[in-house]
Chain A
Amino acid sequence: MSRIGKIARRTFLVGSVAVAGGVAFGVWRYRTPYANPLKDDLPEGAAALTPYVKIDSDGVTLITPRADKGQGAYHVQAALIAEELDIELDQVSVDPGPPSAAYWNGALAEEAAEFMVPSDGMVRGMAEGVVTASMKFIGLQMTGGSTTVPDAYLKLRQAGASARETLKQAAAQDSGVDAGELRTEGGAVILPDGTAVPYTRLAATAAGLDPVQDAAIKDPADWRILGKPMQRLDIVAKSTGTQEYGIDMQVDGMVHATVLLNPHQGGALNGFDAAQAEGMRGVKAVVPITGGVGVVADNTWRAIQAARSVQADWAPSSMPATMDAHWQALSDSFTPEAQDSRKRDDGDVEAARNGAELVEAEYRAPYLAHAPLEPINAIVRIDDDGAEVWTGTQVPRFVQQNVAKIAGLDPEQVTVHVLMIGGSFGHRLEDEVVKQAAEIAVQMKGTPVKLTYSREEDMMHDFPRQIAMARLRGKVRDGRVDSLDLGIAMPSVMGSQMSRQGLSVPGPDSQIVAGAWEQPFAIPNQRVTGYRAPDLAPISSWRSVGASSNGFFYNAALDELIHAAGADPLEERLRLCDDPLARAVLEAVGDMANWSGPLGDGKGRGVALTRSFGVHTAEVVEVTNTDRGISIDNVWVAAEMGRVLDPVNFENLVQGGVIFGLGHAMNCEITYRDGIAEQDNYYSFEGMRQFQAPRIEVRGLENGDHVRGIGEPPVPPAAPALAGAIFAATGTRLREMPFNKVVDFA
């Protein structure tokens, strides 16, 4: 049986090994195949053909190891397998599977190489291999960076194809018919006489076979499911209130807990008085945890009420006391000593500046909470010989290790059940809530503790998007953009995020310049420099990460130069564009928006393009300056996808990404006073609402070779396209987000 389960992985290990080329960690170690986690508790007669397909007499289960926080990851992963397995989506069940190193995320490793290592020339090539190898080595099963689709695209289809061909072999053995005369359809092998043998009846035979290693995957022209509109697997449940999220999970004997954390972010708990709380109805315990107090009751509302009555003595936060001091720290970081990277340095920006009139500007992007609508939560039960966790997470392996540490167990003794997530935007890459639930649970062994944050604790103790500042010095000549010198300063997101997992990130953090240095514009003199600011507030990945601020900085800077040149924002971008895929995207969005067409009074259009996560996304925003403020009327989006796997979900994710980008640019920021977040609920961190939502028309282009994810790329161009439109309509140039510091929105 041990041979089963290696098939799909070996294919990918081979490909990846060639990149890695014998460096650092020892080839033999990461080449060692991981044990197949699905074989641990397989009943007699069941076969685990690959780690992504499980078949037994009860049915076919597709394993979808990337977390679903609303982006439809479970669905697209299942569709990739089902396409090749020749089974319909209503014939399978979908399971996120246990945490396992076998589910390492190769695409994320490629992305991680961007920020974890120096990235020029040969050094970069080698270093990517190191990171890929080492991530594989530690088995980083992580969802993020819009990597689900790129990572899964080949892997899951090959897993499905391999399973399909092996089932044919099993049917051949059982029936005596040559495998070449068999075909597959609807979850069954079809014999020449038309008899359909369900896969479930072939599982036992298949378990004894060598899996087929070289199964051919289908030509996209032959796809039945992929590339066509499909009904998401979770759509009925999510339209009837029957989808179970982490916050809805119930475990026998569980108690309800919440936390009161030191409002001074990161500060310690000096002491507390819980006398009043302990006397309140339903309260079972009030216990200290790292940086706060856990309150356990028989009902979440009672726990929240009791937590508010706890008197605590808090230690101060280590971050600067005022926002002015945060901004000053960024301002002070534009120095040679703090230089983190200079990944682009074309022409000679210094020489180009001589004698010409400089265009200079400074741009700012604030801290932003993730604030998904489901407050973070986790259930943890710790026993002497094991622990169990139920939670929505993007990092199940970290969860397993951290709970093990707190419980004094080995990671293998911790079972993690990954649950559906009610929005994340990067929030669930952190696992503080699980650690805190474990800290409470270890003080009441044997009892499952369900920890639910109040909205206020969730927002105030989020690890927000980075604060960032950029400075432009540029020049125009003969009506053209001639020189763009952009410096960007921010603390390291990856450094802050990984520090909470006890990991350090060597070398430059390329997220500091992501979304700016790699843009497809051939400005004759162009330089992008990243400056690493000191750690301020603890920060984390927020939908599109570095590009969420830098897409605004780069496009806003380009817009100022184009305006100084007296050129048209779209025409000059097209003139400068040196990438045919990006050009097609710009042309498409220009056509969709009828860019050169007439505009009514008080209206303006803006355009932006950002290449992020390998996707060129261009957006045109159209606004009207009304007597109630700026009304955002229309948005057009074109994105280069390689292939659109699910057209309906694609459109939905792009529309949502645009609204996410616009809404935060309009009115959101997190500010700190003495380390205390000054926004604690949606009245002070609102985003966009229904009455502000524009019409959004979306087009996915399929000119390129690479399949990409679309969760993040629509976000970065939204804010600068809006700023450009507001400038066109009002003459007001916006250089700092949120824009409602300067203009009102209708």
Chain B
Amino acid sequence: MKLTVNGTEHEVDVEADMPLLWVLREELGYAGVKYGCGVAQCGACTVHIDGEAQRSCQVAAADVWGPVTTIEGLGTPQALHAVQEAWIEHQVAQCGYCQSGQIMQAASLLSYTPDPTDQDIDDAMGGNLCRCGTYTRIRAAVKTAAAKLQEV
């Protein structure tokens, strides 16, 4: 089957029900996408499909309905996305393991809601678990990212 990831088309030979998460991580080498729970409880595996945040552990390979963007495709250390800039500015990460998913979720939120309220942030980010407890910084970074995106 064919998958488009970060603008590159890939041909993969996997079971139809292999979760996109594992196709990305182990068949295609997008290791920025993280395995945390496998049951849509933590959000570490969040990617964009057709520009919308999705839990890649819950999307079967055969069901991927559009182009996939991973954290690697959002921005790079040399060309950061505004959300990543904000994450760095606020030094959000501790262990950092959940942050790929947090950033992808936040980027999706801001694409639909450019000027989110606290309530909007709580609603959108509630499915992304951070065991280190960086929530206060995540909230601040989302607001900073919103401001950055509106300046552009």
Listed in ascending order, the chain A residues whose CB lies under 8 Å from chain B are: 69-72, 231-232, 234-245, 247-248, 256, 281, 299-302, 304, 371-375, 421-425, 452, 454-455, 648-649, 652-653, 655-660, 663, 681-683, 686-691, 693-696
Contacts and interface: CB of A to CB of B under 8 A. Distances in A.
**SS class of chain B's interface: helix, strand, loop or mixed?**
loop
A284 to B, nearest CB: 15
A516 B136 CA distance: 30
Contact of B134 (A300, A422, A655, A681): A655
Contacts of A693: 133, 135-136, 139
A14 to B, nearest CB: 36
Given A423-B94, A695-B136, 20 more contacts: A70-B93, A70-B94, A240-B32, A240-B75, A241-B70, A241-B100, A242-B72, A299-B27, A301-B21, A301-B22, A301-B26, A373-B44, A374-B95, A425-B131, A652-B92, A656-B134, A681-B37, A681-B41, A686-B129, A690-B138
B132 A682 contact: no
B95 A373 contact: yes
B7 interface: no
B93 A301 contact: no
Contact of B122 (A421, A659, A683, A691): A691
Interface string B84-105: 1001100111111111100100
22 contacts: A235-B91, A238-B96, A239-B96, A240-B75, A241-B32, A247-B35, A299-B18, A299-B22, A372-B131, A373-B44, A374-B36, A423-B132, A425-B131, A455-B37, A455-B38, A652-B94, A683-B41, A686-B129, A687-B129, A689-B135, A690-B138, A693-B133
B36 A299 contact: no
Size category of the binding interface on chain B? 35 or more
A425 B95 CA distance: 11
Nearest to B105: A690
Contact of B126 (A247, A281, A653, A690): A690
Given A301-B22, A682-B41, A70 B95 contact: yes
A372 B41 contact: no
A424 B130 CA distance: 12
Contacts of A375: 35-36
A655 B130 CA distance: 12
Nearest to A695: B136
B15 interface: yes
Contacts of B123: 691
A70 B32 CA distance: 16
Contacts of B92: 239, 652
A81 B129 CA distance: 34
Contact of B80 (A240, A256, A281, A694): A240
Contacts, number: 179
Contacts of B137: 652, 655
Given A239-B103, A241-B71, A696 B95 contact: no
Nearest to B94: A70
A653 B94 contact: yes
B39 interface: yes
Of listed A375, A424, A657, A695, residue having the most chain B CB within 10 A: A375
Contact of A422 (B41, B95, B103): B95
Contacts of A689: 126-127, 129, 135
A235 B133 contact: no
Contacts of A658: 133
B128 interface: yes
Nearest to B75: A240
Interface string B13-28: 0010011011001110
B34 interface: yes
A239 B42 contact: no
A459 to B, nearest CB: 9
Contact of A655 (B76, B122, B133): B133
B94 to A, nearest CB: 4
Contacts of A421: 95
Nearest to A653: B94
B57 to A, nearest CB: 9
A299 B84 CA distance: 30
B95 A372 contact: yes
Contacts of B97: 70, 245, 372-374, 422-423
Contacts of A372: 95, 97, 131
A703 B129 CA distance: 36
B63 to A, nearest CB: 15
B72 A682 contact: no
Nearest to B21: A301
For the complex of A and B, 6 pairs with smallest distance between CB atoms: A241-B32, A70-B95, A659-B133, A238-B96, A422-B97, A241-B71
Contacts of A688: 133, 135
A730 to B, nearest CB: 23
A242 B103 CA distance: 13
A461 to B, nearest CB: 16
Of listed B37, B70, B100, B122, residue having the most chain A CB within 10 A: B37
Contacts of A232: 91, 93
Contact of A652 (B33, B71, B91): B91
Contacts of B125: 690-691
